[in-house]
Amino acid sequence: MNSKTVIYSSQAPAPIGPYSQAVWAGSMLFVSGQVAIDPKSNELIDGNIQLETHQVMRNLGAILEEGGITFDHVIKCSILFSYMNDF
């Protein structure tokens, strides 16, 4: 059985529920979904889809970096919208 390693970055928001920011399982890194929370202020960025998206991407980038990889290594990403007009 492959081992797994939990990844935690202080540069991304702490998990709100009983999950990890990311987990290495064998040679794959599984990253939890992120929201637009600024980890420095712990405030939700809200009301502007561009600002929200940039914050989410910064959070994901920090987690990837903590795991020792970059966006260049990502092979699948799912994005959920509350409003399709934001697409």
| CA terminus-to-terminus distance, the chain | 40
| pLDDT at res. 17 | 84
Res 77 pLDDT > 70: yes
For 79, the enclosing helix (H) or strand (E) is none
* pLDDT band with cut points at 50, 70 and 90 for residue 82: confident
**DSSP-assigned letter for residue 45:** P
The pTM score is 0.88
Complete domains list, the chain, with CATH: 4-86 (3.30.1330.40)
* pLDDT band with cut points at 50, 70 and 90 for residue 85: confident
Over residues 6-62, the pLDDT tens digits come to 999 999 999 988 889 999 999 999 999 999 999 999 999 998 889 999 999 999 999
Q: What is the amino acid identity at position 4?
A: K
